[in-house]
Amino acid sequence: MTGVGPAVEARLPTVGRGLWAVAAIGFAAVVLEVTVMPYIAIARGIPDLIAAAVVSIGILRGSLVGAVAGFFAGLLAELAAPIGTLGVLALLYLIVGAFAGRYTERQEAEGLLVPLGLSVAAAGVVQAAYAGVHLLLGEGAPAAFLVASVIIPQMALTALLSPPVLLAARRLLGAPRVVEPFAVPR
């Protein structure tokens, strides 16, 4: 049960709904985030395509697939560009994917506004939590500097670049449906 009407379901593509598409979206987001996005910067904020991709996957495939995709995308990003403590981004994107997946069974998942808002909020939460972890480790920066120079510009750039990510994920994955192993059919 996808939660969409029969007319909408008939128009959605039936090919490309497998987990390979989830892996392709996550891998493409990480590659673009590590290679291209550092050149698109305002102040010190760069767009967070990984957050947009993980939110899209979570909304379209459920909390389990979103959490697993978030974990592996975060881990791959940390391995591709070693910038800090290993595992922090993996944990943060896992939480983002699981939280976004909770919206799969709701009607709001079909529109673009809620996923866009979740992508922007996820980008801000990931940066704030990442800064909090580094603050706990003793590597601090002034909070006003982080908010004004990193978090707000990153959220604005993520808001601008999230719609293409969300639409591409919707095209590749199809209609929202929960993919949960061992789930009891209704």
Q: How far is CA 178 from CA 91, 104, 182, in A?
A: 22, 7, 12
pLDDT at 102: 85
Q: Which domain holds residue 105?
A: 11-173
The two tokens of residue 67 are 């959490």
Give backbone dihedrals phi and psi of 48, rounded to 5 degrees, phi first. -105, 85
Would you say residue 152 lies in a domain? yes
> Counting beta carbons within 10 angstroms of the beta carbon of residue 157, is it exposed (0 to 12), middle (13 to 18) or buried (19 or more)?
buried
Would you say residue 1 lies in a domain? no
Per cent of the chain over pLDDT 90 is 52
> What are 30-69's pLDDT values in tens digits?
999 999 999 988 888 899 999 999 999 999 888 999 999 9
What secondary structure letter does DSSP report for 38?
G
pLDDT at 182: 62
User: For residue 11, what pLDDT band results from cuts at 50, 70 and 90?
Assistant: low
- CA torsion through residues 110, 116, 121, 123, sign: positive
Would you say residue 126 lies in a domain? yes
User: What's the distance, CA 63 to chain centroid?
Assistant: 12
How many domains are contained in the chain?
1
CATH number, domain of 15, equals 1.10.1760.20
Question: Does 124 score more than 90 pLDDT?
Answer: yes
Q: Which residue has better confidence, 17 or 16?
A: 17
The two tokens of residue 54 are 């993980």
- The one-letter code for the residue type at 100 is A
